[in-house]
Each structure stands twice: as C-alpha cells, then as structure tokens.
Amino acid sequence: MGCWISLHTRFVLTEFSIIEQYFKGATGKRDDVRVGIGDDGAVMRVPAGMELVVVMDTLVSGIHFFEDCNPADIAYKSLAVNLSDLAAMGAQPAWATLSLTRPTLDDIWLQSFVHGFSSLANEYNIQLIGGDLSRGPLSVTVQMHGFVPQGQALLRSGAAVGDAVFVTGSLGDAGLALRLMKNDRLDKKNGHHVYLQHRLQRPTAQVDAGMALRQIASSMIDISDGLVADLGHVLRASAVGARVDVDLLPVSMSYEAVVSELSGTIDQYQLALSAGDDYELCFTVAEDRIEALVQFFSGAGLSYHRIGVVEEGDDLRLLLQGNDYVLEHQGFRHF
C-alpha cells in the first residue's frame, strides 16, 4: 500500500482511500463480474460459447502525450487505444484494469482523470475491475478484456492473394495535429486545428465495425503505428504482399485544409501513410464478401474505403497514379 500527500486538500491519501473514493464506483457494474475492486483479485465469468480476448497498452508522459495534457484526455485515450485493439480482433469489450503512476496526486487531477475514463467506459458497458496505484513518472497502463464467439476472432494472418484492402474512417489526422502542436502552430480558434487535435487526444475506436467484420473480413489490424507499418504486420503474418493506391487514401476535410495551409512544407500523402494514433481499422476482404461489407457498412452509416489489393510476394508496393511512390518514414517505432 502506498500513500500520497494531496496538494489541495492537505491530508494524506492512502492507495486504498484513493481507490475507494475515486475508482471503485467510476464505472457501471456487470452481471458477469462476481468480485470486482476491493479484494486481492477480480473474479469474472466468461459467457458460454465465448472466448476471452486480452489486450494491454501503456501511455507514457512525454512519449504518448504532452506533459500538460488534460487528465481527462489522458484517461480517455488510455482506454480508447485498448478498445481499438479489441476492435481489431472483432471483440466485444467487457472489463478493464488500470495501473496509474504519477509523482503527486490531487483531487482536481483525479476527478478529471476519472471523468475521462468513466465517460468512455460507460459508453461500452465496461467495468473497471482492479488495478494499481504507485508514485513515479506519469504513465497509464490499461488492460482490457473482451469476448468473441468461439473460433471467430479476427487475426492478422488470414489475408489471401486477391483480397481487397480496406480502411475505415480517415487517415493522418492525429499525425497532423501532433505536427502542429510540436511546431507551436496549433490555433485553438481554427476549427480545423481543433478537429485534428480532438482526433489525436480522443480517438474513436471502431468497436461496432470490428464486431461486424468478424463475418466479413479475412484479416484485420488497427492503425496505431501508421498504415504502412501496421499493414506490413498483416502481410508478414499472412506471408503475402500488397499494392496500395496512394491516391485512394481517405483524408478528412480538416486534414486537406491544414495541408493546404502548410503548403510547401508537407507532402499530403506522407502522414496518411505513416502517422500513428489514427486508430482506424485496416482489413482485407475476399471478393465474394465485398457485397456483404457494402450492405452492412452502408446500412450502419460507417465509413470505409478500398485502397488496394493483396498480391503474391512479400512487398508492399505504393503507387500514385500508376507510378511508384517513395515513403520517407515507415511509421512509429516503439524502440
């Protein structure tokens, strides 16, 4: 057990009192959780006919977010990136654990953090079932658990020659926001800048699309490190190559507007291909399943875009109007 000196309330907060006051009731309760926060471990029930999918991500101050980032945004994103991993497996979210380290804790910071976490957790009926608190440099680790019907988890290894390559949503928004912020060019009075920053700090995990694609896609991955890097993981796992038509990459109106604003200093395709933090889905679909894809996504109002095709070999070819396109940066590297 640890203890914290509150900067604003002037009394000692123990680990247990922090958990009891801020985290124990932060999310709703699920019927499949028999024992949640408050014991040495959590006890849950996996529904009959389901398999358990477990994912985990760590966000570190100065690496994954700016040190002065809003605590609510930090918490929201720490959960969203894990939801995105579950979406990539076609899983339905269920439970989460949270490990938080910070040099100091105070009431204002904790309230904001918990609000950001719970707002997203409650949207998907996720129960926080445990975790850990410790003094140290600011970092957040979330582990998430979800369900898929037996044998239906989507993997990276199912792509086959001839499959079409698709992505959801739009690409490059988060990377462009990061560039604006690093260069001190973010204008909070500019609606396009604000939209891009929101995409960086509060990404939308494609959970509904992921679950629907269990019956449609042959392989899938979420775009966390950049399209080229993440599609490359699929190609290696599936022992195939692919062609991506760069001029088919989907980008938002705000992305186009800001790229135009920065004319001459940025290639409009580079960030869409290589920037991380978009948390869209990249997936492959056999030709005879594309009609099912169109019917579901159109009916659900979800955005999807065909950007290429799986080929024989082991290379990822980038083409712009039929000519080879050279990418300068391959994507985010963890080490």
User: pLDDT by residue (tens digit) across 62-118?
Assistant: 999 998 999 999 999 999 999 999 999 999 999 999 999 999 878 899 999 999 999
Whether residue 311 is predicted with pLDDT greater than 80 in this model: the reply is yes
Same domain, 176 and 316: yes
Q: How many Å separate Cα 24 from the centre of its chain?
A: 25
Residue 332 lies in a domain: no
Residue 314 belongs to domain with CATH number = 3.90.650.10
Residue 85 lies in a domain: yes
The pLDDT assigned to 334 comes to: 44
- Split at pLDDT 50, 70, 90, the class of 263 is confident
Residue 334 lies in a domain: no
Same domain, 145 and 161: no
| Residue pointed to by tokens 């083409």 | 319
| One-letter identity of residue 198 | H
Q: How many Å separate Cα 239 from the centre of its chain?
A: 25
Among residues 149, 165, 200, the one where a domain terminates is 149
Q: What percent of the chain has pLDDT over 90?
A: 82
- Which residues, in sequence order, are CB contacts of 329 under 8 Å at separation 6+? 270, 274
Same domain, 38 and 167: no
φ/ψ (deg, to 5) at 310: -80, 135
| Residue pointed to by tokens 């396109």 | 325
Q: How many domains does the chain have?
A: 2
pTM of the predicted structure, to 2 decimals: 0.92
Same domain, 280 and 313: yes
Whether residue 15 is predicted with pLDDT greater than 80 in this model: the reply is no
The pLDDT assigned to 14 comes to: 67
User: pLDDT by residue (tens digit) across 208-233?
Assistant: 999 999 999 999 999 999 999 999 99
Contact between 101 and 134 (Cβ < 8 Å): yes
The residue range of the domain holding 217 is 156-324
Same domain, 89 and 170: no
The pLDDT assigned to 168 comes to: 98
User: pLDDT by residue (tens digit) across 105-147?
Assistant: 788 999 999 999 999 999 999 999 999 988 899 999 999 999 9
Query: What's the rounded mean pLDDT across residues 5-10?
Result: 41
Whether residue 1 is predicted with pLDDT greater than 50 in this model: the reply is no
CA–CA distance, 65 with 242 (Å, rounded to integer): 32
Among residues 133, 149, 165, the one where a domain terminates is 149
Residue 78 belongs to domain with CATH number = 3.30.1330.10
Burial of 71 (0-12, 13-18, 19+ CB in 10 A): buried
Same domain, 39 and 136: yes
The pLDDT assigned to 19 comes to: 77
Q: How many Å separate Cα 200 from the centre of its chain?
A: 10
Same domain, 281 and 318: yes
- Split at pLDDT 50, 70, 90, the class of 7 is very low
328: left (phi over 0), alpha (psi -120 to 50) or beta: alpha
CA–CA distance, 93 with 183 (Å, rounded to integer): 37
- Split at pLDDT 50, 70, 90, the class of 10 is very low
Same domain, 126 and 251: no
Same domain, 267 and 140: no
Same domain, 162 and 145: no
Residue 333 lies in a domain: no
- The residue count of the chain comes to 335
Residue 329 lies in a domain: no
The pLDDT assigned to 20 comes to: 75
Residue 14, CA distances (Å) to 7, 19, 99, 135, 210 in order: 14, 9, 15, 11, 40
Whether residue 13 is predicted with pLDDT greater than 70 in this model: the reply is no
Nearest to 104 by CA among 73, 78, 138, 71: 138
The pLDDT assigned to 3 comes to: 42
The pLDDT assigned to 335 comes to: 40
The pLDDT assigned to 333 comes to: 55
Of 7-21, 157-171, 255-269, 306-320, the least confident: 7-21
DSSP 276-292: -----EEEEE-GGGHHH
| Residue pointed to by tokens 């959590």 | 42
Query: What's the rounded mean pLDDT across residues 145-161?
Result: 98
φ/ψ (deg, to 5) at 238: -95, -5
Mean pLDDT over all residues of the chain? 92
The pLDDT assigned to 330 comes to: 65
User: pLDDT by residue (tens digit) across 28-52?
Assistant: 999 999 999 989 999 999 999 999 9
